[in-house]
Structure 1
């Protein structure tokens, strides 16, 4: 029997769970590769990444790639909370695209971080502190 190609698998996943787009699946896989590189794994035999590690990699990768639009982009693809990332991961596991250990669980992605805080706060400006020491004066330029 012929092994289904990647695009067919992703199309099937979208039919099974239409919350997520093809871009969501691709992004999670890219974020996983980014996380592996970010953690600089020396565990040659075990390259398993925990749920919390992947969530941190997703956060950093999304901010690096999309800047202040990261949350908007992820939301457009159906990724609105950490549990969604876990769902995408375990959909990919179910189709044999990713692997998991016995200890890995969708619960690993629960209560990871708030998307607003994670993706918007890095770009919010801090309010000015203190008062001006000199008042602003209007300068008359007609003299």
Structure 2
């Protein structure tokens, strides 16, 4: 794994790439942190370095988006340039390529392909969960 420090800010990377807005990248980073915390709390270990798969990250992002924006989740993500789970992967690999994230040798962009359909996930399968 690379231990290099990023040479460009995330803002510069996003502006150069042009596909996504900054909030999309911030959202993916937040989703990764949430997924890691969820996996660590489920493992019972006080700290365990755990790799998050592309599918796990996508499901974490779906959950956060549904909780935060409800039926508007798909529209919010689309406004940021994110219209499929592949876009989550494109953001991850953009950050990996610029030393903001790391990947395992077996990770690939294809891990993010068609994890779920956005219309199904955010419109048809929407449900409200109340905290107790």
**How high is the TM-score relative to the length of structure 2?**
0.81
Alpha-carbon shift at residue 38 of structure 1 (Å): 2.5
Give unpaired runs (5+ residues) of structure 1: 125-143
> 1:100 and 2:88 equivalent?
no
CA contact (8 A) 2:6 2:99 kept: no
- When Rg is computed on C-alpha atoms for both structures, the one with the higher figure is 1
> 1:109 and 2:103 equivalent?
no
Q: Specify whether residues 58 and 103 from structure 1 end up closer, same or farther in structure 2 by C-alpha distance, changes over 3 A only.
A: same
Runs of 4+ in 1 over 2 A off after TM superposition: 37-46
Q: Specify whether residues 41 and 9 from structure 1 end up closer, same or farther in structure 2 by C-alpha distance, changes over 3 A only.
A: farther
Partner of 1:13: 13
Give distance in 1, aligned partners of 2:116 and 2:67: 18
Q: Tell me how large the CA RMSD over aligned residues is.
A: 2.0
Give distance in 1, aligned partners of 2:95 and 2:73: 22
Secondary structure at the counterpart of residue 19 of structure 1: coil
**How high is the TM-score relative to the length of structure 1?**
0.75
For these two proteins, the number of residue pairs brought into alignment is: 120
- Higher relative contact order, chain-length normalized (CA < 8 Å, sep 6+): 2
Partner of 2:58: 55
Give unpaired runs (5+ residues) of structure 2: 128-132
Partner of 1:141: none
Alpha-carbon shift at residue 68 of structure 1 (Å): 1.2
CA contact (8 A) 1:86 1:106 kept: yes
